[in-house]
């Protein structure tokens, strides 16, 4: 049944009476909107229908490519912009690394690869499934970068260039080095274990002394590369920790390694006692393996975080006496006159000199409706020009913009954040001293009673005490939880986030873009004459064909392209509306440019009117609607016993309306960034551990001040940079999941610590009195580590 009622492409519910469909594999499949229809059609037309058979997750809702967006893509062809991310790999051949947004499963990777390979001029495409990055090589004579980017957009994904030269190279080198170390430790461990079995068996049944010595020397030869090469990272970490006199977990690890090796070598040379080569190899293999897993999880987080930092085309159109010219934003100076076209972002703060337009300042103020700008009004860098072209004179650039000011506020908020010390390392310091003291004591005691056994007992104590389990306990749990969350679209960007998340008792939401979609959707149609709603919509969409206004998109999404009527003499009145002639009569659609009077607006929604020359035909209400999983999230969080609030910059009535729908009592509207900050501080002063969810620049300072913060993946760069967690998937319900998982992670970490400490408390005294045979010591050490890792892997 759900099949029939949901969009075949994106899985969202179908709008009643909207008739969109695409013929896929000889079957007519329903589509929810024009965007999905366009994307699905593009996929089928390019012979990529296999995608629908292979996919395991639904893509984002399709969006039509707006002409304005294509214009912006064209900026990437500018040689000055390309300098930073395009490499020349041969004559006419260029290579760039692209970050792909919207990848949800392996079929998406395949789709992009196949489609790009079909384009003439594209020489090679490799998409990395884990990092969502594509390395594309193309022939500059046959195709342009903007064309490649546009093709990706047509499939419903977004691509933007990534500056690969920076960090990625050194990270790759480091990873290869780590892999080589793991390989050496693995091969050596396998061989030495085999020899160890022979030695233990020989110890039991009896073995010639010469054979024993041969096997020992062979084990020694295999262990040397492990100790010299594979274990090197531990020496380096322990040494730097000792230099600053703050011993970490690596210090006892190195002591145990070196002591076991020295003892084994001594016993090999003298041909007596026990050897611990197998324990050494196991030890190094386990530690390196976990380190690599942990590093892998962290690297994927870093890559995902880097993918968010877009390389925006920082170009502006400067108007001089000689005409217009495209210049890099860095070259602007106050007093320059700029032309900002509809759909463009203001590159600098300025004063409007000419033109009338509506401006979207939602990123800065959280206000979801357009703000009208006339000559003399101030505009802020980062806001978006919507309606008509504006000419402005620059008043502030770079550091002097309002945007930069908010970023500075954010820096201060971040600096005040409480720093959580790592528990394991704190224990490690004390553990090291306790271990050394104990070993010395054991050695002295045995020296007193039985000098012959002193050396072996000291060695047993050092090997059997397992710093391994203690040092693996926290990282293994964090790595397991982190990579599990990332697979579900939740990216942890700060180390402390999981730990703090587990203690959260108050969740604060921003409204626009967080609980809601952050863009207007058609909420209601009220026919005012004898026409029915469907007819009104059809006429409205037809008129809006000519408009690039963002308010036009929700109309066009309702009506199939073949149902649109031809419009002649279309006139676009910037900031007011559109008019045109259909079937010989003139119709108007818009907010103000009407021949007849419309009554006053109500709060919380944008109203658009359809009229002919004598009367009003319909009223459309466009509103920013709630995300479909907002209500389930709120219910889930309430079930977890958390207190909830909404702090929004939007007007109080709208916020209250949303709060009532969701069942949240504490709803505060009309707050400026500073007010939000104060409100969160007040909650914290009352003892609350606050988690903040937001998306806009205006949320950034609050996100920084809350103990733990979460930004929407589609939000602004500043918001994402200042948050501890980024919701890449935009599926709100994952927040509830993350909260539950964080508590489980903390529980697992505590279990691991408890186990490691309990093991040491039992094993060390036994070793000290000489009751632990060498094979038991080695087994105990390995088992205690394995248990810790297995426990962490339960976090699923």
Partner 1 sequence: MTSILFFLLGLTLLFVLMIGLGIFWAIKNGQFEDMEGPAQRILMDDDDPLLPGRRDADALKNER
Binding site residues, partner 1, CB under 8 A:
25, 44, 46-50, 54, 106-107, 109-110, 114, 127-130, 172, 176, 179-180, 183-184, 187-188, 191, 208, 210-211, 214, 218, 222
Which tokens is 75 given?
A: 């900026």
Task: Dump strand ranges (E) for 175-314.
Answer: none
Which tokens is 100 given?
A: 């792909």
CB 703 within 8 A of CB 414: no
Cα radius of gyration (the chain): 32
Q: How far is the CB of 262 from partner 1 (least distance, A)?
A: 24
Q: How far is the CB of 412 from partner 1 (least distance, A)?
A: 40
Neighbours of 34 (CB within 10 A): 21
Neighbours of 86 (CB within 10 A): 20
Which tokens is 433 given?
A: 């001293």
For residue 5, which phi and psi values (nearest 5 degrees)? Answer: -95, 0
13 secondary structure, DSSP code: B
Q: How far is the CB of 47 from partner 1 (least distance, A)?
A: 1
Closer to partner 1 by CB, 106 or 564: give it: 106
Closer to partner 1 by CB, 36 or 226: give it: 226
Q: How far is the CB of 186 from partner 1 (least distance, A)?
A: 8
For residue 735, which phi and psi values (nearest 5 degrees)? Answer: -60, -45
Residue 180 and residue 161: Cα distance in Å, rounded? Answer: 31
The strand pairing partners of 522, in sequence order, are 622
Q: Using CA of residue 66, residue 71, residue 77, residue 79, what is the dihedral sign?
A: negative
Q: Strand 371-373's sheet: what is its strand order?
A: 371-373, 357-360, 384-385
Interaxial angle between packed helices 774-792 and 467-487, expressed in degrees from 0 to 180 and rounded to the nearest 10: 20
Q: How far is the CB of 191 from partner 1 (least distance, A)?
A: 6
Which tokens is 647 given?
A: 């702090």
Q: Which residues are catalytic?
A: 510
Helix (H, G, I), strand (E, B) or coil at 372: strand
Q: How far is the CB of 179 from partner 1 (least distance, A)?
A: 5
Q: How far is the CB of 471 from partner 1 (least distance, A)?
A: 25
Closer to partner 1 by CB, 184 or 332: give it: 184
First to last CA, the chain: 31
For residue 137, which phi and psi values (nearest 5 degrees)? Answer: -115, 130
For residue 69, which phi and psi values (nearest 5 degrees)? Answer: -65, -40
Helix (H) / strand (E) element for 491: namely strand 490-492
The CA-atom distances, in angstroms, between 302 and each of 16, 28, 148, 276, 667 are 43, 42, 26, 39, 35
Q: How far is the CB of 49 from partner 1 (least distance, A)?
A: 6
Residues in contact with 168: Cβ distance below 8 Å, sequence separation at least 6, in sequence order: 97
Residue 581 and residue 588: Cα distance in Å, rounded? Answer: 9
Residue 330 and residue 319: Cα distance in Å, rounded? Answer: 16
487, with CB counted inside 10 A (0-12, 13-18, 19+), is exposed
Q: How far is the CB of 106 from partner 1 (least distance, A)?
A: 3
Which residue reads 């050897």 in tokens? 275
């Amino acid at each position: 049944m759900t099949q029939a009622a949901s969009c075949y492409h994106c899985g969202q519910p179908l709008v009643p009476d909207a008739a969109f469909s695409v013929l896929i594999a000889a079957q007519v499949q329903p589509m929810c909107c024009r965007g999905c229809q366009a994307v699905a059609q593009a996929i089928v037309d390019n012979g990529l229908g296999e995608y629908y058979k292979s996919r395991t997750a639904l893509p984002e809702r399709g969006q039509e490519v707006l002409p304005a967006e294509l214009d912006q893509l064209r900026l990437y062809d500018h040689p000055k912009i390309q300098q930073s991310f395009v490499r020349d790999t041969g004559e006419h051949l260029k290579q760039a690394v692209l970050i792909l947004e919207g990848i949800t499963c392996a079929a998406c990777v395949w789709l992009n690869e196949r489609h790009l390979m079909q384009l003439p001029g594209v020489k090679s495409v490799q998409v990395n499934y884990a990092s969502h990055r594509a390395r594309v090589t193309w022939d500059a004579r046959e195709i342009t970068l903007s064309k490649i980017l546009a093709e990706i957009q047509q499939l419903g994904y977004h691509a933007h260039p990534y500056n690969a030269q920076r960090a990625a190279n050194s990270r790759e080198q480091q990873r290869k080095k780590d892999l080589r170390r793991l390989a050496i430790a693995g091969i050596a461990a396998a061989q030495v274990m085999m020899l160890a079995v022979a030695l233990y068996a020989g110890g039991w049944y009896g073995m010639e002394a010469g054979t024993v010595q041969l096997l020992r020397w062979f084990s020694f030869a295999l262990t040397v590369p492990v100790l010299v090469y594979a274990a090197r990272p531990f020496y380096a970490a322990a040494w730097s920790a000792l230099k600053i006199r703050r011993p970490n977990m690596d210090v006892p690890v190195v002591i145990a390694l070196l002591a076991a090796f020295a003892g084994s070598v001594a016993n090999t040379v003298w041909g007596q006692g026990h050897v611990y080569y197998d324990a050494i190899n196991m030890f190094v293999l386990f530690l390196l393996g976990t380190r690599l897993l942990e590093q892998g999880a962290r690297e994927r987080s870093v890559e995902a975080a880097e993918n968010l930092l877009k390389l925006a085309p920082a170009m502006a159109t400067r108007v001089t006496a000689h005409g217009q010219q495209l210049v890099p934003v860095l070259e602007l100076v106050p007093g320059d006159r700029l032309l900002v076209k509809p759909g463009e972002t203001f590159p600098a703060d300025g004063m409007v000199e000419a033109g009338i337009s509506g401006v979207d300042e939602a990123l800065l103020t959280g206000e979801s409706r357009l703000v009208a700008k006339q000559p003399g009004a101030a505009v802020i860098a980062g806001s978006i020009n919507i309606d008509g072209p504006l000419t402005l004179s620059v008043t502030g650039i770079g550091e002097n913009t309002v945007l930069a000011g908010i970023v500075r506020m954010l820096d201060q908020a971040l600096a005040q954040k409480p720093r959580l010390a790592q528990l394991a390392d704190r224990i490690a310091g004390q553990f090291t001293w306790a271990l050394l003291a104990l070993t010395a004591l054991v050695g002295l005691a045995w020296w007193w009673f039985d000098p012959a056994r002193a050396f072996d007992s000291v060695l047993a104590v050092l090997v059997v005490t397992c710093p391994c389990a203690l040092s693996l306990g926290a990282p293994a749990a964090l790595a397991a939880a982190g990579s599990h969350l990332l697979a579900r679209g939740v990216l942890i960007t700060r180390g402390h986030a999981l730990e703090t998340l587990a203690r959260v008792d108050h969740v604060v939401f921003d409204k626009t873009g967080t609980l809601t979609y952050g863009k207007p959707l058609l909420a209601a149609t009220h026919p005012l004459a004898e026409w029915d709603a469907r007819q009104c919509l059809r006429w409205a969409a037809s008129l809006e064909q000519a408009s690039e206004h963002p308010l036009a998109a929700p109309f066009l999404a309702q009506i199939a392209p073949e149902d649109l009527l031809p419009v002649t003499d279309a006139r676009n009145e910037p900031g007011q509306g559109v008019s045109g002639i259909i079937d010989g009569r003139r119709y108007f659609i818009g907010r103000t440019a009407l021949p007849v009077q419309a009554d006053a607006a109500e709060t919380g929604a944008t109203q658009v009117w359809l009229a002919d020359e004598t009367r009003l035909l319909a009223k459309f209400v466009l509103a920013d609607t709630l995300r479909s999983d907002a209500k389930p999230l709120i219910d889930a969080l309430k079930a977890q016993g958390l207190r909830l609030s909404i702090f929004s910059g939007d007007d109080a009535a709208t916020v209250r309306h949303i709060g009532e729908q969701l069942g949240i009592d504490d709803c505060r509207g009309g707050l400026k960034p500073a007010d939000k900050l104060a409100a969160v501080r007040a909650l914290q002063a009352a003892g609350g551990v606050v988690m903040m969810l937001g998306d806009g620049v205006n949320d950034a300072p609050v996100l920084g001040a809350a103990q733990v913060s979460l930004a929407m993946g589609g939000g602004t760069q500043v918001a994402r940079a200042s948050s501890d967690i980024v919701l890449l998937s935009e599926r709100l319900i994952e927040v509830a999941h993350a909260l539950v998982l964080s508590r489980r992670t903390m529980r697992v970490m505590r279990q691991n610590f408890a186990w490691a400490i309990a093991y040491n408390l039992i094993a060390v005294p036994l070793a000290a009195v000489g009751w632990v045979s060498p094979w038991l010591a080695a087994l105990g050490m390995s088992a205690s580590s394995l248990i810790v890792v297995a426990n962490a892997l339960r976090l699923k």
